Structure 1
Amino acid sequence: MPVADENADEDNPYLRDPPTDFEPVEELSEAEAERRVEQLRAAIREHDRRYYVESEPVIADRTYDALFARLRELEDAFELTHPDSPTRAVGGEPIEEFETVEHVAPMLSIDQSGEVEDVREFADRVQREVGDVRYVCEPKFDGVSMEFVYEDGRLERAVTRGDGREGDDVTANARTIGSVPQRLHGDSPDFLAVRGEVYMPKDAFQKHNRERIERGEEPFANPRNATAGTIRQLDPAVVADRPLDVFFFDVLEASDLEDSHRAELERFPDWGLRVNDRVEVVGESADWSSAAESSGDESRDPIDGAIDYRDRLLEVRDDLDYEIDGVVIKVDDREAREELGRTARHDRWAFAYKFPARAEVTPIVDVAVQVGRTGRLTPVALLEPVDVGGVTVSRASLHNPEEIAAKNVNVGDTVRVQRAGDVIPYVEEVVEKNSEGHYDLPDACPVCDSPVERDGPMAFCTGGLGCDAQLRRSIEYYAGDDGLDLEGLGEESVRQLVDADLLASVADLYELDRADLTDLEGWGETSAANLLAEIEASREPPLPAFLSALGVPHVGPTTARELAREFGTFEAFREAAEADPERLEGVDDVGETVAETIHEFFTSEANAEVVDDVLEHVTPQHVEMDTGDELEGLTFVFTGSLEGLTRGDAQELVEAHGANATSSVSGNTDYLVAGDDPGATKRADAEDNDVPIVDEDAFDALLEERGIDSD
């Protein structure tokens, strides 16, 4: 039987002018709590329908939040949780993997073209096979198509399109989307499978990308990629934090089918399913929506009305808050649809008339400021996605304040985008000036609010390692190839550990334990043990590697090596860096500018505190580096923990005798030396490149053969 419309209960106190001063939980009986919970659930579903479907909310957001919090409070206090409760929209427990399930009905693709002749051929075939028809015209959303199955009015599952026959069960994630009803309203069918398009609104996408850039994370290329990446997250709580929405547009299967597609869409809002307000009907008796008024002469061939609809939608495409890449033209009558049938790949009763791709010229929607490891501020233009050389681009570099001023670029301007070396997008010029003046970088860091200082054409955050953005990148650099080469601690891992509040500084690396890591998604006992072994092996790093790992501006591996040779110990180097920068200028690769930069780094209070914290866990070691050429011409890579000496010591030892020590395996590598718990990636690379893998005993034997004492 259909689900009764709970929201018709006029005695529900939470429907209109609801109270937000609630009686203490401890004063409620269990029966009273159950009644309040049912009323709150019914009211919240109704408020969701009014907000997402009708766009006519009757209560303020803060009132809705109070009702939602009260429902969660009562469910927790009286253990009244339920799978279709609105509180499930905040996300459930993470899962290991998605289950693959078969669709109720095939979710086929749509035949498509950007040529009007192909659209007319489609209409001619339809007319030949079933006669005159009426068409329903809809925007072609550029999102993620999904199947939503309701049984007895309750959401049972949500499945990605997959290969059209089966897809991934992402129900827990779908429940977090506010416009996906957990229960249908009104006189809904006992069984209903509908097709919807999950998408990220353009304004929300740009805001989300801006936040990612300012956090030092890689932004999404376009709203569709953002949606696809979100809906397949294994943690529903992550999905709940991202701004997804949905339009419903087709019945796949139902216990009570309507005669026409138009009639189905008319029922959707009654059931709480959100439909797009740009849908129109063209053809004989096109009396739904604004089609008769907007299509002009109804005596025309219906396909002319569909083509006109596409042209009108193309004109307003950039004004919509969702991405569309064309329109879908569907035969309205279900009996005619059945007669037309389908091919193995697509339904023969629908056709997509595509828009031309946006090419090179696009408006700037916003500007985000990215903070790099050294504090440099890089302005990034956030764009309406545009095709540049066959690649969809949604952001482009603005380089620096001088470039921005020279090009007179600002938010709202239409610009031409190019790709430098066919890789990095950048704004070439303004082609239509729609703003006043040019964009100005902020006076304070967008991440830590520290003052911004200019250095010629560049701008820098003065927060140092006290700035979260610089901190995250500094941890990545410290653990990276130019630092201490901690395998298993890349960008994604660092982000995960920082987001889990396990890393608030570089020094926190040395406080990690196995339980911290294995509690995180994607970490097992082996990967946790391997990383901890890598970190443990880095407690006595060679001085050059440590100096480079600190991420001092202009101090990479080569300069760090020269500084280590000159000063011998970290203490001697730091003393000169803080008190006598002119002393640094006598070192190869260090001039006045680099010396002053090193001085500023070590005299920064925030940086000094971070370095001191690291030194509580780390003792940099110095190894004399100019002793011989016994290993000249050989290249070594080290992985895992060595017993006789640290991995850093081993690197410096071979370099002191003429060899190269690199952090990654390539065809130029002569030996991969594998200690305990070696990294799987380096072993695999060695096998792929036919590089000999030797253990520590074989390495010692090799050194002995060359007359080198490793003790």
Structure 2
Amino acid sequence: MNDIQLQLNALRDELREHNYNYYVLDNPTIEDYDFDMKLKELLALEAKHPEFHDPNSPTLRVGGTITKNFNTIPHEYRMYSLENSYSKEDLLDWEKRIEKILDVENVEFTCELKYDGASMNLTYENGKLIKAVTRGDGFQGDEVTNNIKTIKTVPLRLKGDFPPKFDIRGEIILPLDGFKKMNEERVENGEEPYMNPRNTASGSLKLQDSSEVAKRPLECLLYNIKGENLPISTQFESLEKARSWGFKVPTVAKVAKNVDEILEFVNYWEANRHELEYEIDGVVIKVNNLQHQEELGYTAKAPRWAMAYKFKAEQVSTVLNEITYQVGRTGAITPVANLVPVLLAGTTVKRASLHNADQIERLDIRERDTVFVEKGGEIIPKIVGVNLELRPSDSTETVYRTTCPECETPLERKEGEAQHYCPNVSGCTPQIVGRIQHYISRKAMDIEGLGGETVALLVHEGLITNYADLYELTKEQVIPLERMAEKSAENLVNGIEESKKIPFERVLYALGIRYVGETVAKKLAKHYKSIEALMNASSEDLVNVDEIGVKIAESVAHYFSEEANLETINRLKQYGVQLEFSAEQLEGLTETLLGKSFVVSGVFEKVSRNELKKLIENNGGKVSSSISSKTSFVVAGDKMGPSKREKAEKLNITIVTEDEFLNMI
């Protein structure tokens, strides 16, 4: 290594250390002027010697890279949502469920603040930042690495005993002081101020010019490490480790031994949250032991081992001008309150869902009422009450409409259902548009170049009436549409062609069968393996599929009994859409374990716990979270809980080792 390279490395290391002391430890060890001089020296040296380029140099903090398109990248470890709780009872119920699944008493928890920012996944290899990806839909997100590198609290190189490869999750936030200064500058320049720190932080991540991102005082607060064979045994230890590697991890996290200690933490921060430099909207409680987290696993949407305790929602009052009605893709009618605009939790609220006729009747909501509005989970505005003292003297009760607001078809309401429906499935425009918009959505067919507005335009122009029509569209038909250039039209037609490669389970979800969400679509696809087999299944057959209830079974059977649906599926088949498992997907799928239920417990050597569960499901078995008389086998690894073993023995359930299980399949 020559002298120039040594000089460059020494300068970079020194500046990294100063950055860490200033932004992470809040303990500067150098004057700002001296730091700036050293940074200029490094910039000059790097410009003179490009052969020694370092993608993680401190000089990259100033930005300058332009990103025209942000690539969509799948997450190696899915980013789940969190279940919400609002009371001590919710937490006690959750604790009981955990103890039952783990078959242990006195579970320990880590309490952390719930930062109100934009979720981010950072990947490090050999101590260097490799990529930064937004949460997206949890399965995949947008790569924003160049922009994230400008944030001073994101280490570009780590220190200490970090693992060779891991992901770390956190929130990109905008501290309140920085947000205030940004808005003061905007007002001075005659620009509109930003609405709230969270949305401003989120919007910053998708700016094309990273030097613009560098001007914003963004921070990254980290809270969760993901990877294989990590040298960590508890959540609290993972926070301390991350801090020692150079990440900014707030020091307020606390270990709690029971729900009372959790509530002590919650109550303190609900009362004192305004002392913080950044916004929080609650507390996140996690099972502390990482092995217990693995045993608990996940539901379709959230980890079983974590819970968000949301602070009481902010409430405002405003006047309800008018009640209007919206039609969803399934024909469901949603009444909507159109309000006098009001500022609530950092955003201007103009509309709120009234849910259904029962809700309107229960709260006796009327036009011209002064109503109380909250944000459910601090996201969706909802009306929670009426100020009867301010009700006009000539007020009249709300009469729920009897015909569809779009096609005037008389509405129907089935027994036991809360919502009214428009039965005009094939002739009601919002239903047609909604079904196609669902078909092209990200978790379904994910058709690039085709958005919801374009779908509405294609329907209104008479070019399509259902999703099968998409496959007959030509570039020439699309070009004349509003805001559609030749390149856009080409991308749209190519995106539709590419969607023919989307696997069967996502196609099944895309069809929009009522009650068939992502998880149910995967279960049905895995069980029947082709649309033909599923179409021929009766309601009675469907109910026998794991976790398929009567309501779902009847809905699926009804969908395939409709001639129009069969005709659409036949067309999709002709166009080459994947309506069965491919040879690659079928490889490794057997029915060896059909009818058998397994509980997986402990730590394994040859395969990970998740791989083990996948092997059970791929071979026709069912994975259960807790031992019961219906359990066929317990697959026991190292450190299996003694009470779990005791329960299995008491119920005479066969306990097998990892090797014995692998021999079974």
Larger radius of gyration: 1
